[in-house]
Amino acid sequence: MADRKATLTVEGLDKPIELPIYSGTRGPDVIDVRGLGSEGLFTYDPGFMATSSCQSAITYIDGGKGMLLHRGYPIDQLAQNSDFVELCYLLMFGELPSKAEYANFADRVTSHTMVHEQLANFFKGFRRDAHPMSIMCGVVGGLAAFYHDHLDITKQEDREISAIRLIAKMPTLAAMSHKYNVGQPFNYPRNDLNYAENFLYMMFSNPCEEYKINPVFAKAMDRIFMLHADHEQNASTSTVRLAGSTGANPFACISAGIAALWGPAHGGANEAVLNMLDEIGDESEENIQRFIDRAKDKDDPFKLMGFGHRVYRNFDPRAKVMKETCDEVLEQLGRADDPQLRIAKRLEQIALEDEYFIERKLYPNVDFYSGIILKAMGIPKNMFTVIFAVSRTIGWISHWHEMLSESYKIGRPRQLYVGHDKRDYPTD
Ligand code: SDX
């Protein structure tokens, strides 16, 4: 329902165009520009800097305040009091589960963690040194070849079973991609472990010795899953929505989301942060300053990975929780004085006092500290973005489900055409 209207006067048009304005629960009002098409006009917004692609009730971000709400609950309160499985239920169904609903949901997820035995053969087609993200793009898309018994996306129950299958199987496939990389046998999931424990078990257990779950690592893993779960209409979620708007099956849509997440400007940043810290190497002031200067140099492609954000013009609230978790894990390992953590903290301190970063409101984002924790837990760098994808699957599939539960149209942006005008093919 329009609350107000915008009146647009356009030179050359004999009457102004009236456009409805809508207000949400929080955040900027939106101008409904759909009427411009009939006036022969398009909007122009490369990178969607000021474009709302949909309405959604799942997550709200206030970039100025550094606020992140999942179904209204602040991320720091969820990280403190909830767990990843409960957050999956909240994002998917809109309310916190009762104890019975939680138990039933957790059981449904647990009972779907195994993958079809044939899928193991799929891995064998990849080179052993294939990046696990490339394996995940392929294998997750391939799930559609195995689970096509409930793919009528017009049915709520089919959408739900696909969502549960994806939430449940992503950790299994992720761990399999790691085991394939290191040449160790795949581990089957265990139904006596919780989500984070099961992932660590499948990642690190081997047939030669009993694997003991480190409770600090399991809690840190669960928190990392929670902090990466959803982030409104980011690039990979928008990719999933666009793919879903064509009626593509959910496995193909999530595979598209994985591909989009892989980029170093998006989910690939956590791996890029560790590469950057490795490149910085020496923690001397002048060396760190040299990298800060490179990040400010327009002629140098180097950017401070893990810094900056399209929406946050303040601290990313997830980065704050991640930093606390980083301190906890390294403290527990007796490595509170980890050299890469020292470099990261010094880099953050220098950048936050530097006019270039202050002026552009560039702060550490979710990726700045996550890689240091994951490395401390023995997880290889090439698995960092895979872990982001495991977590973000609930965000992707919740948005996919929300879109399909309401009326929607196929996403089909237009363009400003700047190519050749009509011309004839030379026939002489
Ligand atoms: C994620 O969208 C989401 O919600 C994403 C995410 C999620 O949960 O889904 O939060 C996850 O992707 C976090 C971001 C991870 N990426 C990185 O850490 C890579 C480094 N960051 C930059 O690439 C950049 O900050 C982006 C891509 C994150 C945001 O880019 P924008 O919004 O397009 O901003 P911009 O590139 O236009 O930057 C504005 C200015 C530019 O300088 P000027 O042209 O104004 O002089 O800030 C500069 C940029 O050069 N700048 C940086 C910088 N980030 C921006 N300069 C140095 N180092 C940086 N990291």
> Is the CB of 159 within 6 Å of ligand 1?
no
Report, as ranges of residue numbers, the positions in the chain whose pLDDT lies below 50. Answer: none
Closest Cα to atom 34 of ligand 1: 310
Mean pLDDT of the chain: 95
- Ligand 1, residue 306: give the atom nearest the CA: 18
Give strand pairing partners of 67: 62
Distances (CA, A) of 39 to 17, 31, 181, 333: 8, 16, 56, 64
Give the count of beta carbons closer than 10 Å to the beta carbon of residue 149: 8
Q: 4-8 and 17-22 as β-strands: parallel, antiparallel, unpaired?
A: antiparallel
* Residue 181 tokens, joined: 């990389």
Q: Are 251 and 143 in contact (CB under 8 A)?
A: yes
CA 191–ligand 1 middle distance (angstroms): 40
Alpha carbon dihedral 318, 321, 323, 324, in 10-degree steps, equals: 180
Q: Cα–Cα distance between 251 and 173 in angstroms, integer? A: 13
Q: Are 319 and 270 in contact (CB under 8 A)?
A: no
> Is the CB of 50 within 6 Å of ligand 1?
no
Provide the pLDDT for residue 338: 86
Q: What sign results for the dihedral spanned by CA atoms 82, 273, 371, 393?
A: positive
Q: Map tokens 């950017």 to a residue.
A: 303
Provide the pLDDT for residue 83: 98
Q: Are 231 and 395 in contact (CB under 8 A)?
A: yes
Which of 346, 240, 222 lies closest to 284 in space, CA to CA? 346
Provide the pLDDT for residue 1: 60
CA 303–ligand 1 middle distance (angstroms): 9
- Ligand 1, residue 230: give the atom nearest the CA: 8
Give strand pairing partners of 59: 70
* Residue 215 tokens, joined: 């409770």
What is the pTM (predicted TM-score) of this model?
0.95
Query: At residue 382, what are phi and psi to the nearest 5 degrees?
Result: -75, 0
CA 380–ligand 1 middle distance (angstroms): 25
Provide the pLDDT for residue 172: 98
Closest Cα to atom 27 of ligand 1: 265
Q: Are 316 and 369 in contact (CB under 8 A)?
A: no
Distances (CA, A) of 71 to 61, 77, 361: 11, 12, 27
Which of 85, 364, 402 lies closest to 222 in space, CA to CA? 85
Q: Cα–Cα distance between 193 and 129 in angstroms, integer? A: 29
CA 304–ligand 1 middle distance (angstroms): 9
Q: Within its chain, how far is the Cα of 332 from the centroid?
A: 28
Q: Are 44 and 416 in contact (CB under 8 A)?
A: yes
Q: Map tokens 């496995």 to a residue.
A: 251
Q: Kindly tell me the burial class for residue 310, based on how many C-beta atoms sit within 10 Å of its own C-beta (0-12, 13-18, 19 or more).
A: middle
Where in the sequence numbering do the catalytic residues fall? Answer: 266, 309, 367
Give strand pairing partners of 68: 61
Q: Are 392 and 222 in contact (CB under 8 A)?
A: no
pLDDT, one tens digit per residue, over 389-408 is 999 999 999 999 999 999 99
pLDDT, one tens digit per residue, over 341-375 is 899 999 999 888 999 999 999 999 999 999 999 99
Q: 3-class secondary structure for the chain?
A: CCCEEEEECCCCCCCCEEEEEECCCCCCCEECCHHHHHHCCCCCCHHHCCCCCCCCCCEEEECCCCEEEECCEEHHHHHHHCCHHHHHHHHHHCCCCCHHHHHHHHHHHHCCCCCCCCHHHHHCCCCCCCCHHHHHHHHHHHHHHCCCCCCCCCCHHHHHHHHHHHHHHHHHHHHHHHHHHHCCCCCCCCCCCCHHHHHHHHHHCECCECCCCCHHHHHHHHHHHHHCCCCCCCHHHHHHHHHHCCCCCHHHHHHHHHHHHCCCCCCCHHHHHHHHHHHHCCCCHHHHHHHHHHHHCCCCCCCCCCECCCCCCCCCHHHHHHHHHHHHHHHHCCCCCCHHHHHHHHHHHHHHCCHHHHHCCCCECCHHHHHHHHHHCCCCHHHHHHHHHHHHHHHHHHHHHHHHHCCCCCCCCCCCCCCCCCCCCCCC
> Is the CB of 361 within 6 Å of ligand 1?
no
